[in-house]
Copies of this chain bind each other. A is one copy, B any other.
């Protein structure tokens, strides 16, 4: 714990300096870091090799080994990411609201950094550079706790960036890494009150749950997506098939992929067999309620749990409903508050769905796969919030800020 407090103190001091930096200084830091990643690529690759080797030896699956593996091209892409974030509008100091009161007080609501942000993530080492870029540009110091799989790679990346910051007379403690990746240390990290202003877990449902349950600092829950597509009675069936296909199969292991279909009974006799046919060709297993099973061969019986599951793979649940009301109630009950879509030609139903579905991103006639900071035009993304508090949906630079009221007077006192 003493070592974590030491990291916290250094981050706090770096945050103080970061809060005073202008945009140009932050851009300079990001560009110098990008250059350093490219020029020190060999050293980073050298540090990455033992991580990859160890993962192979432990029998880690091929896709996970691939996620962990760095190449010159991937390091160049990391550097390019830093340069792109440097081009984004600096959120800090932006006046969000202003008012001059009758007594002459000038009140401005101004965007300000949080201070120190903690990020807990799993194996991909590129997150190390991404997370640094976003927190640095938003004026925050960051303490990263990456997975043990990638510890050698992460240490090298962090060292290269810290050296680059130092060479620019910028505070190197803007980026620090928790090098002890033990479970006890990560639990203590979550309780670093007074040092962490915000903690963001990035990873699977297990990691998120553990952080939400154990943290004693403010947390933003991210990324668990049991996303629904509702096919309304009035849906354009061809559009529905294209969107379902895209949302389910374009990339299956991601949080904005569809996991559950809800179909209005008025269109189900036509829609369900066509959906089944389309997805069968992509080897997607369907698990449905009795009404859907009665409408098409090859649909397995869904358990209660299936409706609540983020499969992240080739499985999809399906339920037939009597009404839009039932669809909304079902979705609000089982969804994780991430992204849901209605396919409809009925404008009134679309508006009701938009208003009544209690999720971060609600779509009419589009794929849930668009829930993404880049697709939303934010230019960057630190994760997708599934909570309602502070930030919701894809989070760009602004989600990493708070605000303060700056009040300028000429001697006003309260009467």
A133 to chain B, nearest CB (A): 22
CA of A394 to CA of B242, assembled, Å? 48
Contact A197 B388 (CB under 8 A): yes
Within 8 A of B (CB), among A225-262: 236, 239, 242-243, 245-247, 250
A105 within 8 A of B: yes
A290 within 8 A of B: no
Contact A361 B407 (CB under 8 A): yes
A118 within 8 A of B: no
A55 within 8 A of B: no
**A365-B410, A413-B246 known; A114 vs B236 contact (CB < 8 Å):** no
A414 within 8 A of B: yes
A404 within 8 A of B: yes
Contact A393 B405 (CB under 8 A): yes
Name the one of B112, B408, B414 contacting A367, with C-beta atoms under 8 angstroms: B414
**A19-B355, A356-B16, A376-B99 known; A366 vs B411 contact (CB < 8 Å):** yes
Q: Is the interface of A mostly helix, strand, loop or mixed?
A: mixed
A377 within 8 A of B: yes
**Copies, count:** 2
A220 to chain B, nearest CB (A): 9
CA of A360 to CA of B364, assembled, Å? 38
Contact B392 A389 (CB under 8 A): no
CA of A20 to CA of B356, assembled, Å? 7
For A405, the chain B residues whose CB sits under 8 A away are: 360-362, 371, 376, 392-394
Contact A406 B362 (CB under 8 A): yes
CA of A114 to CA of B371, assembled, Å? 21
| Size class of the contact patch on chain A | 35 or more
A354 within 8 A of B: yes
**A114-B388, A364-B408, A388-B197 known; A413 vs B369 contact (CB < 8 Å):** yes
A189 to chain B, nearest CB (A): 18
Contact A407 B364 (CB under 8 A): yes
A198 within 8 A of B: yes
CA of A118 to CA of B243, assembled, Å? 39
A107 within 8 A of B: yes
For A402, the chain B residues whose CB sits under 8 A away are: 388-389, 392
Contact A408 B365 (CB under 8 A): yes
A258 to chain B, nearest CB (A): 11
Contact A101 B389 (CB under 8 A): no
Contact B388 A355 (CB under 8 A): no
A358 within 8 A of B: yes
A69 within 8 A of B: no
For A362, the chain B residues whose CB sits under 8 A away are: 404-407
A121 to chain B, nearest CB (A): 20
For A99, the chain B residues whose CB sits under 8 A away are: 376-377
Q: Which residue of B lies closest to A350 (CB)?
A: B408
For A61, the chain B residues whose CB sits under 8 A away are: none
Name the one of B360, B404, B412, B414 contacting A393, with C-beta atoms under 8 angstroms: B404
A329 to chain B, nearest CB (A): 9
Within 8 A of B (CB), among A10-39: 16, 19-20
A334 within 8 A of B: no
Contact B360 A243 (CB under 8 A): no
For A352, the chain B residues whose CB sits under 8 A away are: 20
**Can you list, as one digit per residue, whether each of A143-171 has a CB less than 8 Å from chain B (1) or not (0)?**
00000000000000000000000000000
A375 within 8 A of B: yes
For A408, the chain B residues whose CB sits under 8 A away are: 350, 363-366
* Extra 12 A-B pairs, beta carbons < 8 Å, given A360-B405, A366-B413, A369-B414: A19-B358, A20-B355, A101-B376, A107-B377, A198-B388, A198-B389, A360-B404, A361-B405, A363-B408, A367-B414, A389-B389, A392-B402
9 A-B pairs closest in CB distance: A366-B409, A246-B413, A369-B414, A388-B402, A390-B390, A218-B389, A239-B411, A366-B412, A361-B405
